[in-house]
Amino acid sequence: PAFFSSTATSNRQSVTTTEHVRVRFNRIPRTILFAEAEWEQEDTDYFESDPGVIQGFLRDSEADSTDQDYRFGATVTPWRRATLTSHLRYRKKKSRYDHLRDEGPVGSPGFGYSAFLLGRDVETYEFATKLSVRPQPWFQAHLGYQLRSTDYDTDTDAVTFGSPSDTPGGWLQAGEYDSSIYTLAMVLTPWERVTMNGSLTYLDSRTKAASNGDPAVDDYEGDVLSLLLGGSYLLNDTTDLVAHYSFSSGDYSQGNTADGLPLGIDYDLHSLQAGLSTLVHENVRLNLQYLYQHYEETSSGDINDYTAHGIFANCAVSW
């Protein structure tokens, strides 16, 4: 057997400044217009060294980044029991790297990671809207939708090995992310001692990475459906019962067996939690809970499936 020892050194120093502006206009009946802008600048010095590893590692870099975040929207109350809020958002973060020394385990200076990376831009567009209604004092509901798109661009050094893997360097689109989120939530208090709530969320998303046209690299695309139901019942002035059930089902299985590997994940998760909370003294509260979980993952041939039971007790003291 062979044994290796090393002494690593790491140091990071950063300076960040932030500016924030918020404007609201409420001269339109039942309407509030708002706009927000935030700017952030960060200067960071990195130093990492580990001369004891097999080929050695050293990084001495300076990074400058700017972050711009703009949001514009409106809140409309057409009726006393209904409110609609919508906004548009644009965000762009730019990072630039100045590598004072470029040494790495691959090749001679110029090819080491992460000094191979010269810059990175992340640009995001977002639209979100939410409708809240309260037709009765004991019932309220929320309906929401969010659409988001993010582009990742990376600036790199050129790499020349005299092979098809050579890259000319410069800017390239490293990845894309697109998602849609639909949400429905409700809160009910039909009786003074009873509170019930529930929410249903559906997420549809796709992540695409640069692959140089290789069909073996497939998009990470799929959806997640989440359900949450809960409630509480006040037995008396000091004791209440609580219960929550959640279900999550995700399908990101790619099935790319023709050109690559059948990666991704396909799962179902059930979780039930119930308990009792009681005030045993004016400043002492005791909680006792039971948890049940059942997980199935068909994409792994059910090798990761499990069923779990748990009992939790805790005591909170305030003074």
Q: What are phi and psi of 197, to 5 degrees?
A: -145, 155
pLDDT for 263: 82
Angstrom distance (rounded) from CA 163 to CA 111: 15
Mean pLDDT by 10 residues, the chain (319 residues): 60 94 96 98 87 64 95 95 97 93 56 77 98 95 98 87 69 94 97 95 94 78 97 92 97 79 89 95 92 95 96 92
For the chain, how long is the longest CA-to-CA vector? 79
Q: What are phi and psi of 298, to 5 degrees?
A: -70, -25
Residue environment code for 164-189, b if the CB has 16+ CB neighbours within 10 A, otherwise e: eeeeeeeeeebbebbbebebebebbe
pLDDT for 175: 93
pLDDT for 7: 66
**CA-wise closest residue to 177 among 226, 213, 123, 130:** 123
Number of H helices, E strands in the chain: 0, 13
pLDDT for 1: 47
Q: What is the DSSP code (8-state) at residue 167? A: B
Instruction: For residue 261, give the H/E element and its range.
Output: none
